[in-house]
Structure 1
Amino acid sequence: MCIRDSHIGGTNGKGSTGAFLFYILKGAGYKVGLYTSPHLIDFRERIRINNRLISKKELIKQVSFLKSLITDHRFQPTFFEITTAIALKYFAEQRVDFAILEVGMGGRLDATNVTMPLVSVITNVDFEHTEHLGRSLRKIAYEKCGIIKRGIPVVTAENKEETLRVIEGTCRKRKARLYRIGEEIRIDPRSSILDPCLIQHPASSIQHLRNQKFNYQGIYDRYENLKISLLGKHQLLNAACAIGAIELLQPKVKISKEEIRRGLVKTTWPGRLEIKRYTIHDKRLTVILDGAHNVAGAEALKKAIRDSFSYKKLILVLGILKEKDIKGIVAQLAPLASRIIITRPQTPRAVEPEEIVEIAKEYSGSIVIKEKVSQAIRQAISYAESKDIILITGSLYTVSEAIKAI
């Protein structure tokens, strides 16, 4: 089984970076497999080739095949290991030109870390899954660096000195050339903030909040006035990582500047600063869905909200999983809100709302609990007026249930 792949690790931005790569490559005419996690609505979202999710029939076939191989009941592969095996086998059988593989957790011991990629990307390093990856940034960076292979180039947007030292040291040891956003790859300083025409638009004018513009000075070339439709300054870094990876794939791939330009602007990634407009009970409501599930993601979301939107009130619908830094996430998001609705997605991993309330009390006197995400959304709608924003976040599980409920 031989797959030409790009391997993407990091704390945040893995999915968005993979999406940028995916849209650029398939827009250039290549047959591209994309493996990501978790899914929002349909499990099959995790495994796709170009515009099609893996079919139900194909998925059943792959599961049955793997099941036939597991004859020793002492060997029990995890859910993610099985899913990864399905994706890799499916991509190989379908003879994709390229596969884009997103790390599930960490990197060194991750199920995806079984290929020899053409390029590796470590988007950034921050605190996450500390019970598995370690309780210091240095230890977490060590686990992320497990995807760095001997002689295979690496792109990173990480810039913290402590973690960057680990990445640089690993690259030197494995003779892997490192390309850093901000050093070998640069975004024009004017593009490090949102285009001025995007800043402080009323929520009622969000149709204008569709493109961020930036210039990119890359490894081999310069790109002027690139656009992405994903919002948030952090997406500029994710886009830069993707373009850097595309440059390093050459000459194995032939992609023109125009194909890169088109791929970037066409990239969508649901549940990441996704803006929805609804008219409910004669109210035109603005809903923002974002799967921020750690402190760094919550901070990026907070900055994007402050930079890109003006609004009368923000109503926060928040549901978080147990293993997350609840205090840190609440500290970032609660000060934005006029009202907070605490809920729990329907998974055993969800933290009890009462635990979040105890933390959120420090920031707000207007907090209610709704046991189900659908109930929380109904409550938020009852609070909201036309110039308000409803922000639904804390976990992709929360976002998934919100999408189904709205």
Structure 2
Amino acid sequence: MDKNKKLDSIDKNKIKLGLETMEKSLKILGNPERNYKIIHIAGTNGKGSAAAFLEAGLIEAGYKTGKYTSPEIYRFNERITINREEISDGDVELYYEKVNKALELSDIKLTYFEITTAMMFLYMKDKNIDYLVLETGLGGRTDATNTVTPVISLITNVSFDHMEFLGNTLREIAHEKAGIIKKDIPVFFADDNPELLEEIKAKTENYINVLKKYEFNENSTKLDKEKLNTLVKINNKEFRLSLFGKFQGKNFLLAYEALKYLGIDDEVIKRACSETVWNGRFQIAAENPFIILDGAHNKDSAAVLSESLREVFPNKELVYIISILRDKDNESILEELAKASDYAVFTGINNNRGQSCDEMYNKGKKYFKHSYAENTPESALKKAVSLNKKATVICGSFLLLKEYKKP
């Protein structure tokens, strides 16, 4: 078992936005989050990739580096790592009990995300890390991670996702993301969206748009389609990224600026970015047959996946396996994905937010000339491989990706 039964019994889907409960809890725990330097990251897409680049750079520079991300793809332990090593099952159980014991005399009731965040802060303190790369869970302003005072705040971008919590306009969403900004703490961002800029300006003058600083444009990023690497040019220096996709250029640039701010040399960053690992983003899961895993769960992430696929497979020589959660913008995601292929196998996800293969098929058949429905992810893979395309691309939800990896 990859985590203890008590933690597993908590409803993961219960969301309670607000900082009061976490602030009280952390005070009782002795404010463990004040014992190391923190880089706090918000944004609609790209948080995980930016966090991975940061983690790699800090480790390569010799720092003991913690990272906290969510959700997991394959097992809970992925959320909490130190120098890329996942928290052990034993420590998951230990820190769950530590947090509960400390709070047992209070009337505090934590959600799943709050308790795992508290566990992580305490674990990182006890392990004496130097830096924590901290990804927000949802939004930023009222997210449980926003109880920290970081050394840098980073915002990748803003687009439409989780509108039921963050608002229905880009300005409202930008307001939530910019909520991680703290007084006198620098904020770097990688988005030309004017709504985001206005929200940042309303909170601080200590900001840098890395796209403008480095005059970043389409010619700044190239793809190596043979090695499936990304080449990024910054100040006439070329960096080879192990993560594939032109969109990764912006994520890397954001991490680059943060690492330079922390005094890390370009040569260290070059070595680090060539070894960066991040599951679930254009992840090559197998080469014979060729299988790609990508979480692509909103319009923007589906668009950048589709763009990358068209670069590698210009003749649409691929088939998708797709399942999307019911509360996502299914139509926009499917429309973007269909730009790269005419073939899709739809399957179901065993989750209360998931859909059956028939529901997915009925939504998707108008976008794909060749559409199929398979009850299980296993049968969907067999069907996709039988079509003899150059690649099978599994996408639409991280919950779907989890079905194709044994713990």
Give your verdict on TM over 0.5: yes
2:210 alignment counterpart: 181
Secondary structure of 1:293's counterpart equals coil
TM-score w.r.t. length of structure 2:
0.87
Matched residue, 1:166: 199
Question: Structure 1 residues 313, 211: closer, same or farther in 2, change over 3 A?
Answer: closer
Alignment of 1:38-117 (within 5 A): 38-71=71-104, 75-117=108-150
Deviation at 1:334, TM superposition (A): 2.5
Residue 340 in structure 1 maps to residue 344 in structure 2: yes
Kindly report which structure 2 residues correspond to 1:3-402, keeping only aligned pairs within 5 A, or say none. 3-71=36-104, 75-172=108-205, 177-187=206-216, 190-192=219-221, 194-195=222-223, 198=225, 208-217=226-235, 224-250=237-263, 255-279=264-288, 285-310=289-314, 313-385=317-389, 388-402=390-404
Q: Point out the more displaced range, 134-143 or 350-359.
A: 350-359
For the structure 1 residues 60 and 241, does the alpha-carbon distance in structure 2 shift closer, same or farther, using more than 3 Å as the test?
same
Report percent identity of matched pairs.
35
| Residue of structure 1 equivalent to 2:23 | none
> How far apart, in 1, do the equivalents of 2:316 and 2:239 lie?
32
Q: Distance in 1 between matches of 2:405 and 2:211?
A: 36
Count matched residues: 374
Contact 2:348 2:360 in 1 (8 A): no
- The aligned amino acid for 2:234 is Y
**Other structure's SS at 2:345 match:** strand
Between 306-315 and 15-24, the greater mean CA deviation after superposition: 306-315
Contact 1:36 1:46 in 2 (8 A): yes
Shift of 1:361: 2.4
CA distance in 2, matches of 1:25, 1:182: 22
After superposition, what is the alpha-carbon deviation per residue over 1:220-266, rounded to whole angstroms, capped at 9, x for unaligned?
xxx6011101111110100000011112223xxxx222111101111
How many Å apart are 1:311 and its aligned residue? 5.2
Q: Take 1:351 and 1:141, find their aligned partners in 2: how far apart are those partners? A: 30
Contact 2:316 2:342 in 1 (8 A): no
- 1:46-85 superposed Cα distances (whole Å, 9 cap, x missing partner): 1011032111221111001122234379642111111111
Tell me the secondary structure at the aligned position of residue 212 of structure 2: coil
> Does the aligned pair in 2 maintain the 1:31–1:49 contact within 8 Å?
yes
Asked if residue 403 in structure 1 is aligned to residue 405 in structure 2, the reply is yes
Hey, what's the Cα distance between the residues in 2 that align with 1:148 and 1:185?
22
Tell me the SS of whatever aligns to 1:187.
Answer: coil
Query: RMSD of the TM alignment (CA)?
Result: 1.9
1-side partners of 2:48 and 2:326: how far apart?
A: 22
In the alignment, the residues of structure 2 paired with residue 348 and residue 165 of structure 1 have an alpha-carbon distance, to the nearest angstrom, of 37
Distance 1:275 1:93 in 2: 35
Superposed CA offset, 1:293-337 (max 9, x none): 000100111111112334563211001112211111011112432
Residues 98-149 of structure 1 deviation map (CA, whole Å, 9 limit, x = unaligned): 0000011100111111110000110000001000101111101100011011
| SS class of match (2:132) | strand
* Aligned partner of residue 404 in structure 1, secondary structure: coil
Alignment partners' CA distance in 1, 2:249 and 2:198: 23
The 3-state SS of whatever aligns with 1:402 is coil
Measure the CA separation in 2 of the matches of 1:344 and 1:146. Answer: 36
Output the amino acid matched with 1:377. L
Tell me, which stretches of 5 or more residues in structure 2 are unaligned?
1-31
Change beyond 3 A, Cα 1:342–1:74: farther
**1:339: Cα distance to partner?**
2.0
Code of the aligned partner of 2:398 = L
Structure-2 change in CA distance of 1:72 and 1:334 (3 Å): farther
Q: Are the aligned partners of 2:230 and 2:248 in contact in 1 as well (CA < 8 Å)? A: no
Gaps of at least 5 residues in structure 1 are: 199-207, 218-222, 280-284
Tell me the CA shift for residue 384 of structure 1. 2.1
Distance 1:306 1:118 in 2: 39
> In 2, distance between residues paired with 1:239 and 1:309?
24
Q: 2:39 and 2:177 mapped to 1: Cα distance?
A: 15
Following superposition, the deviation at residue 358 of structure 1 comes to: 2.7
- Structure 1 residue runs of 4 or more that deviate by more than 4 Å after TM superposition: none
Residue identity matched to 2:258? A
Query: Are the equivalent residues in 2 in contact too, given 1:377–1:402 (CA < 8 A)?
Result: no
Q: Is the partner of 1:182 in helix, strand or coil?
A: helix
Instruction: State the TM-score, normalized to the length of structure 1.
Output: 0.87
Per the alignment, do residues 85 and 147 of structure 1 end up closer, same or farther by CA in structure 2, a change over 3 Å counting? same
